[in-house]
Structure 1
């Protein structure tokens, strides 16, 4: 019997700004999208918990080289705090480990939020992917071992209350990389003299991508394979729009394409930039830095 041929993988590049569904892992989402596009290469910019919904930027092909820039971008989350109980996981999936009859009013909640904005120290949840002596914290916690995680500095740009009720409140946070919303919920409740955990979590933005850009798995599946589905891709450059762009001429583009630095010319040419990207005729050529008027590529796109 002839063995069935495997589907040919395509060298397709771009971004799928996925609205990840509930109870679906980030790895599952990447696998599904990669299969739908028959993509040779795929990755994601920032893991979302299975119980979280929202923006999961999935990079195909050359766009995977821009994952670090998107992953390090500012994030916006909308989440609910369920008042009165703490759980092992700091969300609704965990076992209840402590309860409280205290229910904060809106004024009290608003009053404590400034303590959680700016540069603050945060203790990650014990059920997290952080490693302790080479082991994932959540693996140690599930095995019944005592997990001690040191507080880490995070940046919270804004934290506001969208809705407030006796049993739960909905908040929105704008924050930097490494922020755990589950820890925010836990810590806010403790400062208010009660207990709390995350009831729902939605990521509304990651770097340049937001809810307005998102597509669902249902939309991807409904689109006919080929041009119709490919039209739902954002270009590779969409992941870099938060960085300065430098447009090169043909000679400079040829040099950068071979991984070589080039001297930038013209009155508007920058002298120094920590991070930027260069293009030629609208196509991404490389990301890198500018030192003393010379662009030095770090990652070259093909």
Structure 2
């Protein structure tokens, strides 16, 4: 009959057990690193977009869209291309201005783009139109008598608690990363939509708000200045929808392109658009899970009305 040996585990067995626990702990590190890197990328994109919009706001302040204004020449505007780039020292961003070709007749609007770079790589670019006039190691046991059953149970309990703590920390980090990703995605969708709308408004001669502040129509001069286009946006059944064409846009339906879901108006009375002459104010609220993101903006219709083209309403 074989006698059972209850002298416990040898030092080699303990080392192997600790090595396995270490592998399990290290296995979660790449996932955590990936989550942190993704969050940093989204944060940089939002910061770069905000920096670009600040530069455009500064440029537009020097070229007011007041009707009849001839302040600022196209040559002075194009001179911004040779000026030293604006610097965001906190994020190490550089903002370079690119101005389109000056038109043959004035007053007119000129496309202006601000491109934000980091270490020579483009992070984002924003375009608008400007109106111009003329990780301790624990020492190993030095006795080689092995561990008793009680000591082994204690080691297993402590190791289990340690792994549980890692799981809780990882779970919390993953949850926070998911929430941040949802918020960034929602913000990005709304920023892209509002940027498209405000750019169209600045390139338009007329705008109209209808459907209780939920629909916007604009008569836009295309970038080549050769044709007019009718564009429309409407918040319909929780979706921001869009349509464009050479003729007046019909009533909004599911055939229109969907730009974002779970969207409502965030302005007074739940409206999405408010028109004051040629000035448009817009505001959207997008809900993703338990996160709600709100974005507001505004723009003026800057193109001088010309003959030709089909009315858009």
TM (norm. structure 2) is 0.23
Structure with higher strand content: 1
Larger Rg: 2
Structure with higher helix content: 2
Between the two structures, name the one with larger relative contact order (CA 8 Å, sep ≥ 6). 1
